[in-house]
Amino acid sequence: MSGHSKWHNIQGRKNAQDAKRGKIFQKISRELFMAAKQGGSDPNNNPALRLVMDKARAANMPKDNIKRALDKAEGGDTTRYDEVTYEGYGAAGIAVLVEALTDNKNRTSSNVRVAITRHGGSMAGAGAVAYMFDRKGMFVIDREDLDVDEDQMLEAALEAGAEDLQTTDEEFTIYTDPKDFTAVRDALEGQGFKFTTSELTMIPQNTVAVPEDKLETMQNMIDALEDDDDVQNVYTSAEWPDED
């Protein structure tokens, strides 16, 4: 029985990981469709599509999934998705910024409102928290099997035109001005670096520590938002405690 139980636990984790991966691919597929619909399916002539394709590759999205999304756009699919941003607050006044691609604004607005308010948060008007974030290009490089120290990585990043480097034992995170994203990406790739993340993101100007008694509630709010099919990105000003 213990063997069966252990397998069940492993299988349960695998199923959860597969479901999460599938949802990520679904969201990227929607972005691919939108980018191709607006600017054509050739990434060489469509910078927005190239950016999403970079994101897809960094997420290890299968080529067949990418092709299906592009074929759908080329095939005359008339589905229309609107880009919508929602703003609100979580525990301790933590800013919450939600980006969505939706074909039904009423549905998405309702879902986002429920996810935030059911977990102790509140909605806010347009512009209430957006100004607290800066849009940045972000590249994450896994340090495993990478024969480069922090000084060498900093030199390479600055040479490529990046603005900042943050280092942990596991990875390097490089930030850049959005307008320099393509040039920095190409320069780093030209130096042989591979990214586990390559995307435009929103970085909070200041962070707010999550109260200890609100850690679970705040995480549940983020999970509920990210679980929504229409929600593409969730950004917060939350400062999480270091893991022991």
| CATH number, residue 49 | 1.10.10.200
Using the 3D structure, point to which of 74, 99, 131 is the last residue of a domain: 74
Q: 62 and 85, same structural domain?
A: no
**Domain count of the chain?**
2
Q: 152 and 98, same structural domain?
A: yes
155-161 long-range contacts (CB < 8 A, ≥24 apart) are: 156/188, 156/191, 156/193, 157/184, 157/188, 159/187, 160/184, 160/187, 160/188, 160/191, 161/187
Instruction: Look at residue 10 in the predicted model and tell me its pLDDT.
Output: 46
Using the 3D structure, point to which of 74, 92, 107 is the last residue of a domain: 74
Q: 187 and 131, same structural domain?
A: yes
Do 125 and 244 contact (CB within 8 A), yes or no? Answer: no
Q: 147 and 131, same structural domain?
A: yes
Residue 6 domain boundaries: 2-74
pTM here? 0.84
Q: 120 and 102, same structural domain?
A: yes
Q: 211 and 235, same structural domain?
A: yes
Q: 16 and 108, same structural domain?
A: no
Question: What CA dihedral angle connects 236, 237, 238 and 243, to 10 degrees?
Answer: 100
Q: 174 and 117, same structural domain?
A: yes
Q: 164 and 57, same structural domain?
A: no
Question: What region, left, alpha or beta, does residue 76 occupy, with left being phi > 0 and alpha being psi -120 to 50 degrees?
Answer: left
Q: 60 and 6, same structural domain?
A: yes
152-160 long-range contacts (CB < 8 A, ≥24 apart) are: 156/188, 156/191, 156/193, 157/184, 157/188, 159/187, 160/184, 160/187, 160/188, 160/191
Domain of 86, CATH number, reads: 3.30.70.980
Distance CA 5, CA 53 (A): 40
> How confident is the prediction along the chain (244 residues), in pLDDT tens digits per residue?
334 444 445 444 445 555 577 788 999 999 999 999 999 999 999 999 998 998 898 888 999 999 999 999 998 888 889 999 999 999 899 999 999 999 999 999 999 999 999 999 999 999 999 999 999 999 999 999 899 999 999 999 999 999 999 999 999 999 999 999 999 999 999 999 999 988 899 999 999 999 999 999 999 999 999 999 999 999 999 999 976 5
Q: 93 and 65, same structural domain?
A: no
Using the 3D structure, point to which of 56, 74, 92 is the last residue of a domain: 74
Q: 126 and 91, same structural domain?
A: yes
Distance CA 33, CA 67 (A): 10
Instruction: Look at residue 21 in the predicted model and tell me its pLDDT.
Output: 75
Within its chain, how far is the Cα of 118 from the centroid?
23
